[in-house]
Amino acid sequence: MKVLDCESFYHSLFSLENITNINSEEILDFLQCFDMDAFYQRNPLFEKGDKLLLYKFKKQFGPIMHYDQSNWFHLTRIYKNDDFQSGILPLIDVVESKWDKLYPLVSNIISEDEWNDFRKNMEMGLLGPHSSLYKFRTTNTHFEGPYAISIKDTAFKTNKICHHNYLAVPEIIRDICLCFEHNYGYDLFNEYSKNSIPCIVKFKTQFSDPELIGNVLFYMYQTVHNKELNSNCKTNYNAQGCRIPPEDILKIEYLNAI
């Protein structure tokens, strides 16, 4: 069984060794010896770094590129009594529970009828830009998810890789909280943050994409050379409305406040 698992730098290295049949020391030597800056000075119009490293790696080693399984990391923030007994659910299956769990945080501010009216206006996109975003996310099938990333370290570098920080707040929760504060002057996001914790759920899929190896090589190259991670390390998975079953969950990791 050949598995792409990027839980850490060394998980990534040994996964590539297993997939490609290239010794890990040779992979490290390849990464350490290649001067990407000098290459781009000579070839400024060449494709971005992950494509470049994949091209150079294939040219030098002629490696096996197919693998059987990808491990992914679903980033979220959950209430302290939540679990994943039903698996990781797509957006359409969690919207109702998100509204239900937010209301007790503001029940001393507005009545349940007022909350329901607020929700209706949110769903119609009538409360400003974030309300429109909420409507777009919840009615567009492309955003059903669940989403995940392949390279775990990028979860903590969201500004560098131009990615939403799901460990701080899921996007639709952010939309609701910002609209609520704008309309009622109450910081719902702060209450939500105090009552929830960041969480990373590792799961497996039968998935093989040789292009993903380029992103992994770039992540490892940046790490070896003590350079910042950037968007060339970004790898997204979208289950497109399909539930991740509980038997495919490998690990649930609860983090300190992000």
Mean pLDDT of 248-258: 86
Assess whether 110 and 157 both reside in one domain: yes
Q: What is the mean pLDDT of residues 212-222?
A: 97
Dihedral (Cα; 249, 2, 143, 182), 10-degree rounding? 60
- Calpha distance 166→233 (Å, rounded): 17
For residue 208, tell me if it sits in a domain.
yes
Specify the pLDDT at position 108. Answer: 95
Residue 225 confidence (pLDDT) above 60: yes
Residue 249 domain flag: no
Does position 112 have pLDDT exceeding 80, yes or no? yes
Q: Domain for residue 55, yes or no?
A: yes
Q: Which residues contact 106 (CB under 8 A, 6 or more apart)?
A: 115, 180, 184, 186, 188, 191
Tell whether the model's pLDDT for residue 230 goes beyond 70.
yes
163 and 226 in a single domain? The answer is no
pLDDT of residue 82: 78
Considering the domain architecture, whether residues 168 and 61 belong to the same structural domain is answered as no
Whole-prediction pTM: 0.94
143 within a domain of the structure (yes/no): yes
Give the pLDDT mean for 150-158.
95
Q: Is the pLDDT of residue 121 over 70?
A: yes
Residues with Cβ within 8 Å of residue 222, at least 6 apart in sequence: 228, 229, 230, 233
Residue 254 covered by a domain: no
- Domain identity same for 146 and 227: no
For residues 214 and 139, state if they share a domain.
Answer: no
Instruction: Indicate whether 148 and 179 sit together in one domain.
Output: yes
Co-location of 208 and 196 in the same domain:
no
Residues 45 and 143 in one domain: no
247: in domain = no
161 pLDDT tier (thresholds 50, 70, 90) = confident
Does residue 156 belong to any structural domain of this protein?
yes
- Domain range holding 47? 3-69+204-235
pLDDT score of 258: 55
**pLDDT average, residue stretch 63-73:** 96
Q: Residues 76, 51, 10, 15: is their CA dihedral positive or negative? A: positive
Local structure of 143: helix, strand or coil: helix
Q: Residue 142: what pLDDT? A: 77
Q: Could you tell me if 117 and 186 lie in one domain? A: yes
Domain co-membership, 180 together with 211: no
Percent of the chain past pLDDT 70, that is, above it, reads 99
Count of the separate structural domains present in the chain: 2
pLDDT at 257 over 70: no
**What average pLDDT does the segment 200-207 reach?**
96
The answer to whether 35 and 227 have CB atoms below 8 angstroms apart is: no
Is the domain of 196 the same as that of 81? Answer: yes
Confidence (pLDDT) at 178: 96
Whether 102 is in a domain gets the answer: yes
Identify the pLDDT of residue 159.
Answer: 86
